[in-house]
Copies of this chain bind each other. A is one copy, B any other.
Amino acid sequence: MSERDFTFSTEIQVRFAETDAQGIAHNSTYLIWYEVGRIAYLAEVAGGYQHLRDEGLEALTIESHVRYLGAVRFDDRLRLHVRCGDLRGARFRFDYRVERLNGDAAPETVADGWTLHAIVDGTTLRPTRLPGWLREAIESANA
């Protein structure tokens, strides 16, 4: 992960349904949160994921990585830091850092990770180039 700072974040609250019998958020839930973060990011910088779908495109997830750094519990308030980069042909990458907000105390990093995506045609699921408007929106968000 590069040293560049995250410039976008969104908040979520841990749902009871996201916990498991260990009393903590289930490990698969983080990938759903990362997706919530990506979608909020795209809504902010690029008119929304639906904008991509309206052009007949989809973003497939082709790789995912999560580091679970601290247990997260029901009702915890989390800040998802999200950034996008590494645009190459049909591919791009999102990085994430998840902080737990602790009232007046300092936030605590509880997870990080990244996902790798490919732009595909929504019908054939074949790779296609990242649309120019999306590339420009992401590059301008990173500038």
Mostly, the A contact residues are mixed
A134 CB → nearest B CB, Å: 17
Indicate if A26 sits at the interface (CB-CB under 8 A). Answer: yes
Whether A68 lies near B62 (C-beta < 8 A) is yes
Which residues of B are found within 8 Å of A122, using beta-carbon distances?
22
Measured in the bound complex, the distance between the Cα atoms of B53 and A73 in whole Å is 13
0/1 interface trace, chain A 37-78, chain B, CB 8 Å (1 if under) = 001000000001110000000101111111110010111000
Contact string, A13-27, partner B, CB cutoff 8 A, digits 1/0? Answer: 001110111111011
Chain A, interface size category, equals 35 or more
| Min distance, Cβ A83 to any Cβ of chain B, angstroms | 19
Does the CB pair A49–B32 fall under 8 Å?
Answer: no
Contact between chains at B64 and A65 (CB < 8 Å): yes
Closest 4 CB pairs of A and B: A19-B21, A28-B31, A27-B61, A17-B32
A residues in contact (CB < 8 Å) with B: 15-17, 19-24, 26-29, 31-32, 35-36, 39, 48-50, 58, 60-68, 71, 73-75, 115, 122, 125
